Amino acid sequence: MKRTLLIARREWRVAFDSPVAYLVLAALPTLTAAFFFLMGDFFARGEASMREFFALMPQLMIPIVPALTMRLWAEEQRSGTEELLLSYPFRVRQLVLGKFLGALGLLALSLAATALVPLTVAWLGPLDWGPVIGGYLATLMLGAACIAVGAWLSSLTHNQIVAWILGVALLLCANLLGAAATARAVPEALGRILLGSDLGLRFQSMARGVIDFGDLAYYLGLVAFFLCLNGLVLERRRWS
Amino acid sequence: MSRARDYRRRSALSGWLLAGICFCAVVLSGRLHWRLDLTAAGSNSLDDATRDLLGQLQDRLQIKLYFNRDIEGAEHLLPDRLRIQDLLAEIEGAGRGRVSVETVDPTTDLVAARDAEHLGIQPITVQDQRIAGVSIEKLYQGLELRYQDRSELIPFVVPARFEFAFATRLQSLLRGGERPLLAFFSREPMLPPPVPGMDQEAPPGRVFERLREILGARYAIRDYRGLGPGEAVPEEALALVVLRPERVTAAEVEAIDAYLRGGGRVVVLYDHEEVLPQRGFEKRTLESGVDAWLAGYGVEVRREFVYDEGGKAMPVDVQLVTLPDGRTARNPIFDAYGLYPVIGTDGLNQEHVVTASLEEAEFVWAHPVVYQPRAGLDLQAEVLVRSSSRSWRLGAATKVGITLSNVKLMRTLIAQAGAPQPSDLVLALRGNFGEESAEGVLVVVGDSDLFHNLNFDTGPANVPFALNLIDWLAADEALIELRSRGDETRRLRSFYADSLERQGGRGATPAANRAIDRQAREDQLSMERRIAWVNLLLPGLLLLLAGVGHFGYHRLQDKRWQEAD
C-alpha cells in the first residue's frame, strides 16, 4: 500500500506541475455552476434541490475524466519513462492502483471545489442533504469507473489525444446503453443486459438519495475489470 | 522460454480473474436489493402504511405491469419507469413471498394486448419530435392488481403518485372490494336513472359533481335530497357531507343530529348566499335552516365576507391594445381579489393531519365561523383554517362583482375598517354532542363555493384539502400522509419578498405598487445574478490562485538553487 500511495503522490506532483491540471480541475465547478445557475432554471423553479446539478454529471464526466486520464500511461510511453517505471521494484498492480488513486484524488478535489453550490442552495432554502450525499457518492463512483476506463485506454496508445478521443467515445456509448436497450430492434435478453450496464441510469438512482448496493457492486466491478485490463496490458509490455 | 511461459500463465490467471469479476458484478448488481435511503423523509422507500397493508395479505397478490419495452422517442421517461420498477421490487420484498410481479409488453404480446384492452388500460400517445419530423409513439404504463377473486387497476402509473395509488387499491382489495359509504345531503337535482351503455350526464344544477367524482374513486357516494324518519342517514356511512344547506326542515335537522349523536361524522359546507356570475354577480340569499342547530353546539357562521389582502389574482378589467398590424387585442388586467382568500401555510393548522401537508387552500366568498363553547357540552374545538393576519370582515351587503371599480371600492372600505380581523374559516368539533351519545365529529366550513364545480379542481389547492378532510373523517390518516409524500417543496427564500419588506410593503396607489414591484424584481434579478457569478468564478479563481502560488514558489526555489550553484 505504501508503494501504491507513493505512485499516487507522484501522479499528483506531476499533475500539478502542469497548468493543464488546474484548467481541468477548474472546469468541473465552473461548468456545473454555469449550467445550474445561469443556463438552468434553478431560480425559476424556486426549489431548494440539487437534482438538476447532479443530472449534469454523467454528461460532464464524458469529456472531463478522459482529460484527467489521457496522460496517465500515454505520456509515460511517449517520453520513454514507462520502461523505467516498469523496471522499478514495483508490482504492476501497485503501479496501476497508484495511478488510479492519483487520478481519483484529482477528481475528488475537483468535486470538492463544487461544494460552494450545495452550500449556496442550503443558504437559499431547506436543502435535503441526503440526495446531495448520494449525488456526490454517485459522482465519485461514476468517476472512478470512468477513470478506470480512461486509464486502460491511455495504456493502449502513446498519443494523449487519441486516448482522450477513445475515452470520450467509449463513455458516450456507455451512457447511451439504456436508450439503446429500449429500441425495438434489440432482443429482450440483450436489452436487459444493456439496461443494467448503462452508467448514467445507475447514477440517477443513487443521485436520488438511494444507495443501492447492487449499483455499488456494479461500479466497483467495472473499476476492478478495467484496472485488471490495464494491468494485463502493462504486464504484456513488461514481459515482451 | 520460461519468461514466456510465466507470462502466459499470468495472462490465463488474469483472464479467469476478469471473467470472475464480470460475473460477480453482474450477478451482485442484479440480486442485491439492500438499499439505503438517504432522503430526509425516506421518500424513496415504502411508507409504513403501505407495509402495514402488505402485512395484512392472507393470500397471493399478483401484480401485472403493462409496460412496453420499446419507448423510442420517449427515452426521457426511462428513469421514472425504472423508479416504478424499483418500488415494485421493494413491494415484492415487503410482501414476504406473498407478492409476485410480472411485466408484460402489450406491443409485442398479443395476449397482453387483449388483456390490456379488456381491462381498460389504454396507451397514451407521446409526441416524438426529431429531425425527421414528428411521430406519435404509444406508451403503456398500466398496472393490474389481483387478489383472491378480485382485481383493481391503475390505468396509467404516475411515479410521484404511485405509492398512494397502489396503497388505496390494495386497501380496497383487502376490504373485499367494497367501497366505504359516503352520504351527501344537498338540494341539488338527482342524477337521472342510469341507461346501460350510455354515459350519464349530470344536470346543470349539480354544482358539486366534480367533488363527487373525485371522492367516488375511493368511496361509494349515496345522494340524499331529503332526510327524515323514513330516510335516515345509514349507520355504516363513514361521513355525511351537507352541501350548501338550504331550507333544511326540522325533521331533516333531527336526522342529521341523530346521525351525529350516534357517533357519526358530519361536514357542513355552509354559505349564506349563492352568487350567480352569469347574472352580473347577483346574490341569491339562502336560508339554511341549520343555524339554530349549529348554534346549539356554539357554532355560528357569520354573514360578513372574509376579505384577504392577498386574495387570488383575478381578471378585473380589460385593456385594449393596438397590435403592429393595426388590429386591436383585449388584454385582461389582473389584480388581487380580496374575497377569494388564498390561505397559505400560516393559516393552515400545521398540527392537524388534514391541513399539515397542504401548501394552500383557495376560498371563494367565505364567511367567518365563530365558536362559543356551550355549557354542559364537552366538545374539543380545533380551527383547521384561519384567514391571514392581513384580513378583514366586510358587511353582508358588500357587492361581490369581480370588476376593477368593485376591487377599488373594497380597498376603500378596508382602509376605513381599521385593524385587520383574522377569521376562522374551518372549525372541527369532536366529542359527545349530547347525553348518552357516542363521540362524533362536526366540521363546519364557512364556504361551499370552494368545492363548486367551477372552482374545485381548477387549481392544485382544493382537491387535496377535500380528500384529506374526508379521509380524516373516514379515519384513514395513514393514507393522508401517504398522499402528500414527496409533495413537500423546499422553497427558496424569495428575494422579491425581502425587497418588498425592505420597501415597507405594498403602496397605497396602483402607481406606487408598480414602482415597488419593479424595484423588487430588479433586486431579485440582481441578487440571483450575483449568486450565479460568485459560484461560477470563485472556485476557478481560487484554483487559479493556487496554481499561480505553486508555480511562483517553484520558480523562486529554482532561482535560489541557480544562485546557490
Pairing of strands B391-394, B133-139: unpaired
pLDDT band at A195 (very low <50, low <70, confident <90, very high): low
pLDDT of the residue at B131: 43
Q: Is the pLDDT of residue B534 over 90?
A: yes
Residue B117 cell numbers, joined:
384492452
State whether B544 and A47 contact (CB < 8 Å): no
Q: Which of B548, B52, B495, B461 is nearest to A43 (CA)?
A: B495
| Calpha distance B119→B157 (Å, rounded) | 15
pLDDT of the residue at B130: 47
Domain span holding position B67: 48-174
Q: Return residues 26-85 of B near A (CB < 8 Å).
A: 26, 28-40, 44-45, 69-72, 75, 78-79, 82-83
Q: Is B548 within a domain?
A: yes
Q: Is the pLDDT of residue B164 over 50?
A: yes
| Calpha distance B426→B432 (Å, rounded) | 20
Q: Is the pLDDT of residue B404 over 50?
A: yes
Q: Is any Cβ of chain A less than 8 angstroms from the Cβ of B2?
A: no
Partner-chain residue, chosen from B17, B26, B38, that has the shortest CB–CB distance to A211: B38
Q: Which of B373, B493, B85 is nearest to A43 (CA)?
A: B493
What is the mean predicted confidence (pLDDT) over B103-121? 85
Residue B216 cell numbers, joined:
367516488
The DSSP result for B420-440, as a single string, is ----EEEEEEEEESSTT-BEE
State whether A196 and B26 contact (CB < 8 Å): yes
Q: Which residues of B touch A25 (CB under 8 A)?
A: 543
CA B23 to chain centre: 45
Q: Return residues 50-109 of A near B (CB < 8 Å).
A: none
Q: Which helix (H) or strand (E) holds A119?
A: helix A116-124
Partner-chain residue, chosen from B11, B22, B34, that has the shortest CB–CB distance to A232: B11
Pairwise pLDDT comparison (B143 vs B357), residue with the higher score: B143
Residue A169 cell numbers, joined:
467515445
Pairwise pLDDT comparison (A150 vs A184), residue with the higher score: A150
Partner-chain residue, chosen from A209, A213, A214, that has the shortest CB–CB distance to B38: A209
State whether B550 and A16 contact (CB < 8 Å): yes
User: Contact A22/A178 with Cβ under 8 angstroms?
Assistant: no
Q: Which of A92, A229, A40 is nearest to A149 (CA)?
A: A229
Q: Is any Cβ of chain A less than 8 angstroms from the Cβ of B13?
A: no
A110-119, B203-212, B282-291: the lowest-pLDDT one: B203-212
Amino acid type, B169: R
| Calpha distance B146→B87 (Å, rounded) | 18
Q: Which of B226, B308, B305, B306 is nearest to B273 (CA)?
A: B305
How many Cβ atoms sit within 10 Å of the Cβ of residue B22? 15
State whether A116 and B26 contact (CB < 8 Å): no
Statement to judge: residues B164 and B234 lie in one domain? no
CA B522 to chain centre: 32
pLDDT of the residue at B558: 84
Distance from CA of B564 to the nearest CA of A (A): 23
State whether B28 and A217 contact (CB < 8 Å): yes
Statement to judge: residues B165 and B66 lie in one domain? yes
Task: Tell me whether residue B119 is exposed, middle or buried, using C-beta atoms within 10 angstroms of its C-beta: 0 to 12, 13 to 18, 19 or more.
Answer: middle
DSSP state letter for B247: S
In B, minimum Cα distance to A127 occurs at B490
Partner-chain residue, chosen from A29, A133, A213, that has the shortest CB–CB distance to B35: A213
pLDDT of the residue at B474: 81
Amino acid type, B235: E
Q: Which of B474, B367, B476 is nearest to B427 (CA)?
A: B367
Interior angle at CA B242, CA B241 and CA B246, nearest 5: 165
Query: Residue B360: which residues within 8 A CB-CB, separation 6 or more?
Result: B342, B343, B344, B345, B348, B461
Question: Tens digits of per-residue pLDDT, A32-52?
Answer: 999 999 888 788 878 888 888
Distance from CA of A62 to the nearest CA of B (A): 19
State whether B492 and A47 contact (CB < 8 Å): yes
What is the mean predicted confidence (pLDDT) over A11-33? 84
Residue B157 cell numbers, joined:
402509473
Q: Which residues of A touch B140 (CB under 8 A)?
A: none
Q: How many CB pairs under 8 A join A and B?
A: 187
Q: Is any Cβ of chain B less than 8 angstroms from the Cβ of A194?
A: no
Statement to judge: residues B89 and B156 lie in one domain? yes
Statement to judge: residues B296 and B444 lie in one domain? yes
pLDDT of the residue at A71: 85
Q: Is B537 within a domain?
A: yes
Question: Tens digits of per-residue pLDDT, A43-88?
Answer: 887 888 888 899 888 888 889 899 888 888 888 888 888 888 888 8
Look at residues B445, B467, B488 and tell me which one is the last residue of a structural domain.
B488
Q: Which residues of A touch B495 (CB under 8 A)?
A: none
| Calpha distance A186→A181 (Å, rounded) | 6
pLDDT band at B503 (very low <50, low <70, confident <90, very high): confident
Q: Is any Cβ of chain A less than 8 angstroms from the Cβ of B318?
A: no
Residues B286/B287/B291/B294 CA torsion (nearest 10 deg):
-50
Residue B140, domain CATH: 3.40.30.10
Residue B352 cell numbers, joined:
392537524
Q: Is B124 within a domain?
A: yes
Statement to judge: residues B261 and B366 lie in one domain? yes
Q: Return residues 1-40 of A near B (CB < 8 Å).
A: 16-17, 19, 22, 25-26, 29-30, 33-34, 36-38
The DSSP result for B457-519, as a single string, is TTSSSHHHHHHHHHHHHTT-HHHHHHHTTTT---BPP-HHHHHHHHTTS--SSHHHHHHHHHH
Q: Which residues of A touch B137 (CB under 8 A)?
A: none
Q: Return residues 479-518 of B near A (CB < 8 Å).
A: 489-494
pLDDT band at A1 (very low <50, low <70, confident <90, very high): confident
Q: Is B335 within a domain?
A: no
Q: Is B43 within a domain?
A: no
| Calpha distance B425→B310 (Å, rounded) | 16
Question: Tens digits of per-residue pLDDT, A117-153?
Answer: 999 999 998 888 988 999 999 999 999 999 999 999 9
Q: Which residues of B touch A201 (CB under 8 A)?
A: 78-79, 82
In B, minimum Cα distance to A40 occurs at B532
Q: Is any Cβ of chain A less than 8 angstroms from the Cβ of B1?
A: no
Q: Is the pLDDT of residue B557 over 60?
A: yes
Q: Is B315 within a domain?
A: no
Statement to judge: residues B520 and B453 lie in one domain? no
3-state SS assignment for residue B310: coil
Q: Which residues of A touch B544 (CB under 8 A)?
A: 22, 26
Statement to judge: residues B262 and B381 lie in one domain? yes
Statement to judge: residues B478 and B523 lie in one domain? no
In B, minimum Cα distance to A133 occurs at B38
Query: Residue B561: which residues within 8 A CB-CB, separation 6 or more?
Result: none
Residue B202 cell numbers, joined:
349530470
pLDDT band at B449 (very low <50, low <70, confident <90, very high): very high
pLDDT of the residue at B488: 63
Provide the sign of the torsion angle of the four alpha carbons B44, B49, B54, B55, taken in this order.
Answer: positive
Distance from CA of A22 to the nearest CA of B (A): 6
Statement to judge: residues B463 and B550 lie in one domain? no
Q: Which of B180, B378, B240, B381 is nearest to B300 (CA)?
A: B381
Distance from CA of A179 to the nearest CA of B (A): 6
| Calpha distance B425→B387 (Å, rounded) | 7
Partner-chain residue, chosen from B28, B31, B69, that has the shortest CB–CB distance to A182: B69
Statement to judge: residues B160 and B268 lie in one domain? no
Residue B260, domain CATH: 3.40.50
State whether B539 and A114 contact (CB < 8 Å): yes
Partner-chain residue, chosen from A188, A218, A232, that has the shortest CB–CB distance to B29: A218
Q: Which residues of A touch B6 (CB under 8 A)?
A: 239
Statement to judge: residues B160 and B249 lie in one domain? no
Partner-chain residue, chosen from B22, B29, B538, that has the shortest CB–CB distance to A196: B29
Q: Which residues of B touch A230 (CB under 8 A)?
A: none
| Calpha distance B37→B45 (Å, rounded) | 7
Total structural domains within chain B: 3
Pairing of strands B181-185, B239-243: parallel
State whether A224 and B544 contact (CB < 8 Å): no
Q: Is B310 within a domain?
A: no
Statement to judge: residues B356 and B237 lie in one domain? yes
pLDDT band at A185 (very low <50, low <70, confident <90, very high): low
pLDDT of the residue at B158: 79
Distance from CA of A20 to the nearest CA of B (A): 10
| Calpha distance A1→A5 (Å, rounded) | 6
Q: Is B36 within a domain?
A: no
Distance from CA of B144 to the nearest CA of A (A): 22
